[in-house]
Structure 1
Amino acid sequence: MLTVDFDRLGLRPGERVLDLGCGAGRHAFEMYRRGADVIAFDQDPDELATVREWFAAMRDAGEVPDGAEADVKEGDALALPFADGEFDRVVAAEILEHVPADIAAIEELVRVTRPGGTVALTVPRWLPEAICWKLSRAYHDTPGGHIRIYTSEELEAKTTAAGLVLEGRDHVHGLHAPYWWLKCAVGVDDADHPLVRAYHRLLVWEIEKQPAVLRAAGRVLDPLVGKSLVLYLRKPAAVRPRDAG
């Protein structure tokens, strides 16, 4: 289940890309399939070990173009171990809501993006997230859980203050918001509740088969209650000094 539209991000084969806070690697895998040179970055060594195994399996299965490379790197989002301007594209999907020093994390991802490069940031959308918080404290009040709810205005202000230019926004995963409201209502850990199990089967059907009826439902629900807010941003190209004389 992808949150970022890589065509809108401008991703091209051969570009060096960073999946910041990659988690299980869903975006890193898709960028690798598209021929990018991918670094999957996270602070969880167990997640990274699994991502590395999947990268190898994709190579062995011939799922990636010749010449594409992928690797993992463990570290802290507040002190990225990369050079200034190292990446053509950066993805940070569903990570900033976990980070106390979010402005510092944004400044770091801007630093490692090349001038003219693009960034995709995704966070839980305010309304669906606020409903989850109201329904269940256990949804967010856990170690490493969500510590803030962003409005689009707040996230846009923080990213533009860090030097990025907003190029577009989107709301996605409209079918997923009611699922999380249901989980919060019955208990976030109650995966065996009949309604939760039934809705989960619906989402699996959506992800695996992409039936027309659910695609149509998503187009209606995404702008209304899409679970995730996505910002597409660009780091301005460096301004060349005037020629003397």
Structure 2
Amino acid sequence: MLQLLKKLLPTAPAPVAEPPAAVIPEKKDSYMVGLHDAVLSGWYTEATGELFKGFVVSPDDVLLDVGCGDGGNVHFCGMRGAKIIIADIDAAKVEATRQRLSDTPARDIECHVTDCNPLPIADATATRVVSTEVIEHVDDPAQFLSELVRVGKPGAMYLLSVPHSSSENLQIGIAADEYFQKPNHIRIISEEQFKTMVSDAGLEIISHSQHGFYWSVWMLLFWEAKVDLNNPDHPLLNHWADTWQALLSSPRGAQIKQALDSVIAKSQIIIARKPGVPL
């Protein structure tokens, strides 16, 4: 600043000493704050090997992830040493996830590019089946779920999630038009509808939970910020991440998070089991 003033005002009297530079706090990364929030909600517990609370993954498991996306969930499972099978309609995502899994101790990796109608996987293959934020995209949820059930072994555990209707309804009129158009979210699924879908597919529901107030608000701000999802750098998003991190670090942060998650949640998660005695 002093050098700039000297150029602008070369004949000005010598300026007084410049005050110390202000300490600028490090900007919080939206995604890292979201990861911290997810861990507090029960995701990615390394000590117990739980992908989500109540869903343990071990080296003995054959885990199928349908709609693997960027591979975050299945990478955790690969680190547990399980055999991993991934399936997604997007060939680029399948290849990226395959590469991401290459540095894990997964005992085997099998990849499929498929629309899951049907899944190119034999009956009774998997002991663990994961499909997160997929059902809201598919044309026929009953058919999709029947395929997931078919490829699970008797006694297989299922981790299924869809957007919570509280968050989806909040996005109406604010989200970009394509958010609620094919191939994106073509249906909003209530809690009762989700439970009915899973039960009608022949699975026994063990738990049904919800979380993600942070992401619900973040998405609203994202639409307003109009930035690239791969580089969501905007004051609205950065300040929100700072605020949420400060809340989580406060004495009653966990309690307040739980209260907010119960009102407006980004996701609802069902842990279920396929009936029968494990083979």
Q: Which amino acid aligns with 2:149?
A: V
The answer on 1:44 being equivalent to 2:85 is no
Q: 8 Å contact 1:42–1:48 — kept in the other structure?
A: yes
In 2, Cα distance between equivalents of 1:133 and 1:139: 11
Change (3 A) 1:69 1:6: farther
* RMSD across aligned positions (CA): 2.7
Name the counterpart of 1:71.
110
Name the counterpart of 2:220.
181
In 2, Cα distance between equivalents of 1:35 and 1:43: 25
Instruction: State which drifts further: 128-137 or 100-109.
Output: 128-137
In 1, Cα distance between equivalents of 2:266 and 2:154: 31
SS, match of residue 177 in structure 2 = coil
Question: 1:110-159 CA deviation, whole Å, 9 max, x = no partner?
Answer: 11111111111100001111111232342623441100000011111111
In 1, Cα distance between equivalents of 2:157 and 2:218: 31
Q: Which amino acid aligns with 2:218?
A: Y
Q: Which has the larger radius of gyration?
A: 2
In 1, Cα distance between equivalents of 2:227 and 2:168: 14
Which consecutive residues of structure 2, in runs of 5 or more, have no partner in the other structure?
A: 1-34, 44-50
Q: 8 Å contact 2:248–2:257 — kept in the other structure?
A: no
Name the counterpart of 2:77.
31
Change (3 A) 1:81 1:202: farther
Count of residues in Structure 1 that have an aligned counterpart in Structure 2? 228
User: Would you tell me which structure has more helix in proportion to its own residues?
Assistant: 1
In 2, Cα distance between equivalents of 1:40 and 1:201: 35
The answer on 1:84 being equivalent to 2:123 is yes
Change (3 A) 1:156 1:212: same
Q: Which amino acid aligns with 1:235?
A: K
Task: Provide the TM-score with structure 1 as the length reference.
Answer: 0.82
Q: 8 Å contact 1:133–1:140 — kept in the other structure?
A: no
In 2, Cα distance between equivalents of 1:131 and 1:166: 27
Name the counterpart of 2:175.
136
Name the counterpart of 2:32.
none
Taking the TM superposition and a 5 Å limit, the aligned residue runs for 1:94-113 are 94-113=133-152
The answer on 1:114 being equivalent to 2:123 is no
In 2, Cα distance between equivalents of 1:230 and 1:85: 23
Change (3 A) 1:211 1:155: closer
